[in-house]
Structure 1
Amino acid sequence: MQSARITHIATVLAVSCGLLWGLYWLPVRTLADAGLDGAWGTFLITASAVIVLLPFAARHRHDFRASSPLTLAAIALGGAAFALYSIGFVYGRVAIIVLLFFLTPVWSTLIGRYILGWQTPPLRLAAIAVGLVGLGLMLSADGHWPIPRNIGEWMGLTSGILWSISSTAMRTRASLKPGAAAFVFACGATFASLVIAVVMATPPAFEEAGRIAVIAFGTGALWWGLTIIALIWATMRLDPARTGILLMSEVLVGATSAAIIAKETLSPVEIIGGLCVLTAAVLELWPVKESQAASGRA
């Protein structure tokens, strides 16, 4: 009974995280409109998250010394991936950025097969094919070559690739406790967003400093603090397939909210491409026979 209750709580948390991240683009664009254009908004958000998560880092400081540098680097890389995802919302359409990120299963499968030498079940191969078809449809919907059309789309695509590398590395190594891992995650995001902000040389404006501070701190605390801790906790207690499917609520909320609030709509071809991407994710997450799963990690 206790196990079923924990599973129920973890399921609710996973769905809630997906729903909240589907709305994450709103504070990001609000900060951009208030003068923190480009990566500066994400930098302030993630820096706020680092401050919020400092008590967790202090409490589990001994765990950092016990963790390998590669484990810490993998978690920090995940934060950098999410930073790119966040910045992408400033430059690209919400639904496209989210869908490009959800191509992660395709890249994870390719990494597992060609870099780690894992055997690939037929469903995984089908996921790659369907996902790449969806990518091509989304990016060529206007009749151009199937490549990202702006920096936001490039960031969305790159964020999914980096997250697949990070998540694969984290999956093969011991992880920190949720609070400590979220701190490292936020540190990686803060560093990445600062580098991008400086390189892109977009000077920040602070005409509404008080409002900016409230939005940034609240966003960092809720999305990068609370939801990341909750998601890590839930992921440790749910089947990976179930977690992945539950998080797809982010796609629905993101696309719907952007269509209603920002008047961003997708063409029929882009919708078909998006459905292909989601189908690829389901195929990747679909349970395989135990023997196949075992051979896939041989």
Structure 2
Amino acid sequence: MKEARRGSIVVVLVGCLWGTYWFPLRQINEAASLGTWATVCALFAACVLLSPWVIASRHRIRSVGIGTLMVTGSGGGAFVLYSNGLLYGQVAVVILLFYLTPIWSTLIGRIWFGWPITPWRMGAIALGIIGIALVMGPANGGMPLPSGIGDWMALISGVVWAISSTGIRTQPGLNAVESNFVFCLGGLATALLLALTLDGMSVPGVSLGNLAEVAAWSLFLGGSWWAVALTAFLWSAQRIEPARVGILLMGEVVVGMLSAVLVAGEPLGVWMALGAVMVMAAAVIETWPREVTAHTVSE
């Protein structure tokens, strides 16, 4: 019980911390106009910082099977898409697009495993779709569709994370540090691929004058958010129910939207606020534990 309580507190804190992730990420980009290479810098720092903790267990990591490594690494790839979405898109829109993940998880569970979609879940899907339409309509000139590369990255990141998290539940796991190392390694590979594809090898903004600033922000972001916070999150997720994890993470949406409004000066109109509430409500409804759902799925 004490571990579950501590785990719940950690998940709330991690969610709130990730609500501010956009700020140090954009500081790296502003320091040297790195674009997608900013995420590469953060992931490289995270992998370096985590490496000493997993050297002793490297043989066990290799022995868990390619399936576990692939689904865990793809989770890191999903977070990289989310990270880059925050560079190019409006923070509130990107966060809410990512938090459509429960909808994709429900649909993937139905298609892959034949899990039923209950009336509650159908209602959550409808609520989430209507909510994101309200969010994106004002942001994109009245058209409730993704606009720009940032929105599309956020949307795809939610789908990939839904696939990854569904797969992780069906695979034997590693401990929190080992899982996060594989997670960050997969993220680093994805970040490199995206950076080479979108920005190429040229990074004209980097110079001796701003190299120290880039390195400092990269270590801060990679260490605090990717290495420490995600390891703590994975530790907590092993000790509390998945449904509770999803609900407690809602703090990221609130903190992310408020910080974007107060610090970045992003607009937050009435329709966008209403849509955000609907997306959050959909996520809570989808992840809320219900005996009938659990019983039906177990059958």
Name the TM tier (shorter chain): over 0.9
Work out whether 1:116 is the aligned partner of 2:117.
Answer: no
- Find the residue that maps to 2:113 and give its secondary structure: coil
1:176 counterpart residue number:
174
Of the three residues 74, 77, 85, the one matched with 1:77 is 74
1:146 counterpart residue number:
144
- Aligned AA (1:296): V
Q: Is the 8 A contact 2:246 2:287 kept in 1?
A: yes
Of the three residues 188, 211, 214, the one matched with 1:212 is 214
- Aligned AA (2:81): L
User: RMSD across aligned C-alpha pairs, in angstroms?
Assistant: 1.3
Encode CA deviations 1:166-208: one digit per residue, 9 max, x unaligned: 0000011111111111001101111111111111125322130
Work out whether 1:42 is the aligned partner of 2:43.
Answer: no
- Find the residue that maps to 1:174 and give its secondary structure: coil
Q: CA offset at residue 297 of structure 1?
A: 4.4
Q: Is the 8 A contact 2:116 2:296 kept in 1?
A: yes
Residue segments in structure 1 that go unaligned for 5+ positions in a row: none
2:163 counterpart residue number:
165
**Cα distance between partner residues in 2 of 1:294 and 1:70:** 27
Count of residue pairs brought into register by the alignment: 294
Moved more, 263-272 or 140-149: 140-149
Q: Is the 8 A contact 2:54 2:178 kept in 1?
A: yes
**Cα distance between partner residues in 2 of 1:63 and 1:294:** 34
TM-score by length of 2: 0.95
**Cα distance between partner residues in 1 of 2:284 and 2:141:** 28
1:51 counterpart residue number:
48
2:281 counterpart residue number:
279
- Aligned AA (1:146): P
Q: CA offset at residue 36 of structure 1?
A: 4.0
Work out whether 1:21 is the aligned partner of 2:18.
Answer: yes
2:96 counterpart residue number:
99
Q: Is the 8 A contact 1:120 1:296 kept in 2?
A: no
Residue segments in structure 2 that go unaligned for 5+ positions in a row: none
Task: Trace 1:61-72 onto structure 2 (pairs within 5 A).
Answer: 61-72=58-69
Q: Is the 8 A contact 1:50 1:187 kept in 2?
A: yes
Q: CA offset at residue 288 of structure 1?
A: 0.9
Moved more, 191-200 or 62-71: 62-71
- Aligned AA (1:276): M
1:252–1:190 CA distance, 2 compared to 1 (3 A) = same
- Find the residue that maps to 1:34 and give its secondary structure: helix
Q: CA offset at residue 143 of structure 1?
A: 4.5
- Aligned AA (2:206): F
- Aligned AA (1:247): L
**Cα distance between partner residues in 2 of 1:6 and 1:87:** 34
Q: CA offset at residue 224 of structure 1?
A: 0.6
2:229 counterpart residue number:
227
Encode CA deviations 1:232-285: one digit per residue, 9 max, x unaligned: 010011111211111111111111111111101222222121111101101111
Q: CA offset at residue 97 of structure 1?
A: 0.7
**Cα distance between partner residues in 1 of 2:16 and 2:257:** 11
Work out whether 1:7 is the aligned partner of 2:9.
Answer: no
Encode CA deviations 1:72-126: one digit per residue, 9 max, x unaligned: 1000000000001111111111111111111000000000012221112221111
Q: Is the 8 A contact 2:36 2:199 kept in 1?
A: no
